[in-house]
Every structure is written in structure tokens, then in C-alpha cells.
């Protein structure tokens, strides 16, 4: 059977212009192991983007496999209203050991965007039920990404995803967020006092009374091009939220579970959000599941007699799914038993060093930025001016296609080439994927096309 042809006969792939598939047909994967994926012809691909950032411990991890197999013979699913099960209770107990202080109540969903939707509704309803019904707007940073359902899309700030749908979206207060590569204050993320935070201060002075919450991707704005900013920004934001009675929502869907070098990105700042959203690495990339975790104070505002109408009437069919929970519990156990984050941090130093050594000498590399094992290479027209490449050339996409030919999955964010591998990646694979990425970048930039 021609599997590629059959795929295109039926499937509308996400985040794709399907016409591109005329020249780059879908790659049909048959199996996975570690950071490797193998297609139906046996070709190996190094998955250094963790299959959209969710594969935490490698494909077909034996321990997660076994946990899932064991669970499927016991209980596959149960309605989560008025029913529960051992795996979800165990998951909450285990997560409580690692969460930032104060987070203690878990509301489950089945994908990251849904967790964002829950957090927004939760914040609005809290204020409504505690005497502040005027707090019905939200703040978010420029270049933010929080998902693609309408509420999540509204608080996002990447026009590629949201521009067309703006007539359908909430009126969000947009704050100019940190841009450490092109800092308007002439600072760097290593020596600044977050002077850019003045933008948040001004927004709060003007709009805080009508604002329920501000939502942020802590320390790392992923879809913006892996933009990294200092922990001090979160500390200042926590103080500002406390001052103005505005909730701080942490979108840790992409940054949680060791991606930034600590269990959660907020751990770098030593402060806690009011609501934290988790997904992606939560189940190691095995099963769709998400959770919005909040405080006792917020929970208590919904706790009353039924006829008072204060319950949080939000539900998902697969909320707290036992199969997903079994994977999530095992992920936490593996992280601890095998010291995964500590080992990843040691390898991250090596990974960042070789990427800088290989890429920074290129005349069209403006910056290499890193946090944890995540490394991003921003391609520019000119190092000094930091002027971007002509987006119409689709330079990043051309590099992506070339790397696929050589068995490395990069999938750039515009003209930002990045690595966000499973936490178990070893040095040999780091050497290999960075060599391939460098060769492909040079070939596309200097051999196949003129930089414009």
C-alpha cells in the first residue's frame, strides 16, 4: 500500500499548508525508540523536538509502556464526576511533592488549550463570586502562545495563529514583554534589572481594576522563537499581582517537567502562581492529558450549597483518564528514580557549548539562547543590526527539509532553529544532530540561496 498517498487522501494535518505536502509528503512513522523514530522504510529520524515538545523520556520508554499495559487490563476510563480512581489520586499526591508552594487543587482536562480555558474561566468566576464582577479582562504578553481554542488563542499574541480570528476573540490587554535579544534598553538577560517590566507596571496602573488575571509562559516563550527571559521578571510580576488582586496564571505546558532545568520554570524565581497549567510532558508524551492546578483560596470561592450556583461547571469527557494517569505517575517516578533532571542539566552544559561553538561563527546567526536542554539559534540578515531574514524565503523551512533528508527533525519556528530533545538525549546524539543542523544551515544559507 502507498501509505503516503492514502494519508493525503484523508488527512488534514495540523499547522500545515497542505500544498507543501506536494513536495514534502508525510513521513509515515512505524516505530520509535529513545530519541529515534523509524519510518515504514526503516529510515531513522532523530526527534530533537520531542514530537512537539511532549516526549520527555524517549519513545516507547519501557517503564511507561509497562505501566500503561498494566492499567489497560484494570480500568480504561470512568466518568470523573462523583467517581474517582487510585491512579489519579496517586498522581495528585506525587505532584504535590514538587509543585510551587500553595498549589493544591487539581482540575483535569484532556489537552493544554483546555487547561488554559479552565484557568481563565476559573479566575473570572472567582472574582465574580468574591465581589469583583468588574474583573472580566485578561492580560498577556506580546508574542505569547497559549493554545488554539478561542479563549487560549485570545490571550496568545502570535499573529500567525490569531490574526484571522480576532473578530471572534476576547479583548485582551497586551503588554510588551521581554525581548532580550533585541532589548530596547540595551541590556542583556544576564545583567538587567528587567527594565522592560515598566510596561507591566503601566498596564496594571491603567487596567488592573478590570483585570482578572495575567497569563504568562514562564521564562520561555516557545512559539515566539524560544525567547528566554530572566526569573526576576516573574518575581516582579508576583508582587504586582498581589498588589492589585490580579491572578497570576502560569502556562507551564511547555516549560514544566524539567525543560528549563528545574521541575517547573517558576522554581527558578522562587515564587508561586495562583494557577498552573500542565500538559505535554505530564504523561511523557504518551496520552493526552492536562491539569489546571490552583490554590485553596481560589477553590474555596466555589465551595457552597449547590443552589447558590457557585460550582465550576466545566467538564471534559476524558478528565482524569486512568490510562493517562498511569503514564503520568510513572513519569514522576522515573524522573526521581533515575535522576533525570539532574543528569539532563549536566548534559545541557555540553549541548549549549557545542551549539555556540558551531553556530555563533556563522555571519547570519544573531544569537544562541538556551535554558535547560532547550537551545535556539536565531538566523538574521545582519549580526550587528539584528534585522531578520526575509520571511518570504522560508529559510528555516528549507533547512528543515534538508535536515529531514539526513534524518534529523528540526521543524524551526520561522527562522529560529531550535533543539528541544527528550531529557534522556546523550552526547553522541548531541554531536550528530548539531553537525547535521550546521551542515544544512550552511548549505541553505550559503550554497543554495542568497541571504536577503
Residue after which a domain boundary falls, among 290, 310, 337 = 337
CATH number at residue 104: 3.40.640.10
Share of the chain above pLDDT 70, in %: 99
Cα dihedral sign, 27-31-37-40: negative
Residue after which a domain boundary falls, among 278, 310, 337 = 337
pLDDT (tens digit, 9 = 90+) per residue, 175-218? 999 999 999 999 999 889 999 999 999 999 999 999 999 999 99
SS3 266: helix
Q: Looking at the structure, tell me whether residues 18 and 111 fall in a common domain.
A: no
pLDDT (tens digit, 9 = 90+) per residue, 144-177? 999 999 999 999 999 989 999 999 999 999 999 9
List CB contacts of 175: < 8 A, sequence separation 6 or more: 139, 140, 141, 142, 199, 200, 203, 214
CATH number at residue 409: 3.90.1150.10
pLDDT (tens digit, 9 = 90+) per residue, 27-62? 999 999 999 999 999 999 999 999 999 999 999 999
Of the candidates 220, 264, 248, which has an alpha carbon nearest to the alpha carbon of residue 95?
264
Please return the burial class of 243, using the count of CB atoms within 10 Å of its CB with bins 0-12, 13-18 and 19+.
exposed
Q: Specify whether the CB–CB gap between 365 and 377 falls below 8 A.
A: yes
Of the candidates 143, 156, 157, which has an alpha carbon nearest to the alpha carbon of residue 227?
143
List CB contacts of 281: < 8 A, sequence separation 6 or more: 53, 54, 56, 256, 257, 258, 259, 331
SS3 389: coil
Q: Looking at the structure, tell me whether residues 309 and 367 fall in a common domain.
A: no
Range of the domain at 173: 65-337
What is d(CA 208, CA 188) in angstroms, rounded to the nearest whole number? 29
Q: Looking at the structure, tell me whether residues 344 and 332 fall in a common domain.
A: no
What mean pLDDT is predicted for residues 224-238? 97
Please name the helix (run of DSSP H) or strand (run of DSSP E) that holds residue 47, with its range, or none.
strand 44-47
What mean pLDDT is predicted for residues 79-106? 98
Q: Looking at the structure, tell me whether residues 281 and 412 fall in a common domain.
A: no
Any bridge partners for residue 369, and if so which?
376
Q: Looking at the structure, tell me whether residues 245 and 374 fall in a common domain.
A: no
Q: Give the pLDDT confidence score for residue 451 in this predicted structure.
A: 52
What is d(CA 407, CA 387) in angstroms, rounded to the nearest whole number? 31
Q: Looking at the structure, tell me whether residues 28 and 80 fall in a common domain.
A: no
Q: Give the pLDDT confidence score for residue 447 in this predicted structure.
A: 79
Does the pLDDT value for residue 254 go beyond 80? yes
Of the candidates 197, 199, 257, 251, which has an alpha carbon nearest to the alpha carbon of residue 224?
251
pTM, whole model, 2 decimals? 0.97
SS3 368: strand
Q: Give the pLDDT confidence score for residue 224 in this predicted structure.
A: 95
What mean pLDDT is predicted for residues 279-294? 98
Q: Looking at the structure, tell me whether residues 174 and 303 fall in a common domain.
A: yes
Q: What φ, ψ does residue 191 adopt, rounded to 5°?
A: -135, 15
Residue after which a domain boundary falls, among 337, 366, 382 = 337
What is d(CA 351, CA 437) in angstroms, rounded to the nearest whole number? 13
pLDDT (tens digit, 9 = 90+) per residue, 403-442? 999 999 999 999 999 999 999 999 999 999 999 999 999 9
Q: Give me the chain's average pLDDT, please.
A: 96
Q: Looking at the structure, tell me whether residues 250 and 333 fall in a common domain.
A: yes
Does the pLDDT value for residue 452 go beyond 70? no
Q: Looking at the structure, tell me whether residues 107 and 144 fall in a common domain.
A: yes
Please return the burial class of 264, using the count of CB atoms within 10 Å of its CB with bins 0-12, 13-18 and 19+.
buried
Q: Looking at the structure, tell me whether residues 89 and 35 fall in a common domain.
A: no
How many domains in the chain? 2
Q: Give the pLDDT confidence score for residue 448 in this predicted structure.
A: 57
Q: Looking at the structure, tell me whether residues 223 and 305 fall in a common domain.
A: yes
pLDDT (tens digit, 9 = 90+) per residue, 109-143? 999 999 999 999 999 999 999 999 999 999 999 99
* CA-based R_g, the chain, Å: 22
Q: Looking at the structure, tell me whether residues 212 and 261 fall in a common domain.
A: yes
Amino acid at each position: 500500500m502507498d501509505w503516503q498517498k492514502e494519508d493525503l487522501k484523508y488527512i488534514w494535518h495540523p499547522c500545515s499548508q497542505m500544498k507543501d505536502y506536494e513536495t514534502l509528503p508525510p513521513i509515515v512513522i512505524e516505530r520509535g525508540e529513545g530519541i529515534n523514530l523509524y519510518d515504514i522504510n526503516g529510515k531513522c529520524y532523530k526527534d530533537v523536538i520531542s514530537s512537539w515538545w511532549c516526549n520527555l523520556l524517549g519513545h516507547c520508554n519501557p517503564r511507561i509502556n509497562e505501566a500503561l499495559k498494566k492499567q489497560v487490563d484494570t480500568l480504561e476510563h470512568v466518568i470523573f464526576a462523583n467517581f474517582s480512581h487510585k491512579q489519579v489520586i496517586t498522581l495528585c499526591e506525587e505532584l504535590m511533592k514538587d509543585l510551587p508552594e500553595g498549589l493544591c487543587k487539581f482540575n483535569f482536562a484532556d489537552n493544554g488549550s483546555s487547561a488554559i480555558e479552565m484557568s481563565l474561566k476559573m479566575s473570572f468566576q472567582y472574582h465574580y463570586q468574591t465581589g469583583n464582577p468588574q474583573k472580566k479582562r485578561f492580560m498577556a504578553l506580546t508574542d505569547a502562545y497559549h493554545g488554539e481554542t478561542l479563549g487560549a488563542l485570545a490571550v496568545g499574541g502570535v499573529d500567525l495563529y490569531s490574526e484571522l480570528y480576532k473578530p471572534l476573540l476576547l479583548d485582551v490587554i497586551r503588554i510588551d514583554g521581554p525581548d532580550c535579544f533585541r532589548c530596547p534598553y540595551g541590556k542583556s538577560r544576564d545583567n538587567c534589572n528587567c527594565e522592560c517590566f515598566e510596561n507591566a507596571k503601566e498596564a496594571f496602573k491603567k487596567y488592573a481594576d478590570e483585570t482578572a488575571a495575567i497569563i504568562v509562559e514562564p521564562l520561555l516563550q516557545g512559539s515566539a522563537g524560544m525567547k528566554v527571559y530572566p526569573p526576576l521578571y516573574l518575581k516582579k510580576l508576583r508582587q504586582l499581582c498581589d498588589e492589585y488582586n490580579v491572578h497570576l496564571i502560569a502556562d507551564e505546558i511547555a516549560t514544566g517537567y524539567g525543560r528549563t532545568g528545574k521541575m517547573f520554570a517558576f522554581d527558578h524565581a522562587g515564587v508561586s502562581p495562583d494557577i498552573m497549567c500542565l500538559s505535554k510532558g505530564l504523561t511523557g508524551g504518551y496520552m493526552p492529558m492536562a491539569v489546571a492546578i490552583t490554590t485553596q483560596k481560589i477553590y474555596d470561592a466555589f465551595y457552597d450549597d449547590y443552589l447558590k450556583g457557585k460550582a465550576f461547571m466545566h467538564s471534559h469527557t476524558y478528565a482524569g483518564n486512568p490510562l493517562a494517569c498511569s503514564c503520568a505517575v510513572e513519569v514522576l517516578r522515573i524522573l526521581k528514580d533515575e535522576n533525570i533532571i539532574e543528569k539532563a542539566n549536566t548534559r545541557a552544559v555540553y549541548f549549549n557549548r557545542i551549539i555556540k561553538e558551531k553556530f555563533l561563527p556563522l555571519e547570519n546567526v544573531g544569537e544562541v539562547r538556551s535554558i535547560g536542554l532547550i537551545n535556539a539559534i536565531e538566523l538574521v540578515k545582519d549580526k550587528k543590526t539584528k534585522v531578520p531574514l526575509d520571511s518570504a524565503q522560508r529559510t528555516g523551512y528549507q533547512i528543515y527539509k534538508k535536515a529531514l533528508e539526513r534524518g534529523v527533525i528540526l521543524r524551526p519556528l520561522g527562522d529560529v532553529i531550535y533543539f528541544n530533545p527528550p531529557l534522556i538525549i546523550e552526547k553522541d546524539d548531541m554531536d550528530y544532530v548539531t553537525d547535521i543542523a550546521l551542515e544544512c544551515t550552511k548549505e541553505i544559507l550559503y550554497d543554495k540561496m542568497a541571504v536577503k
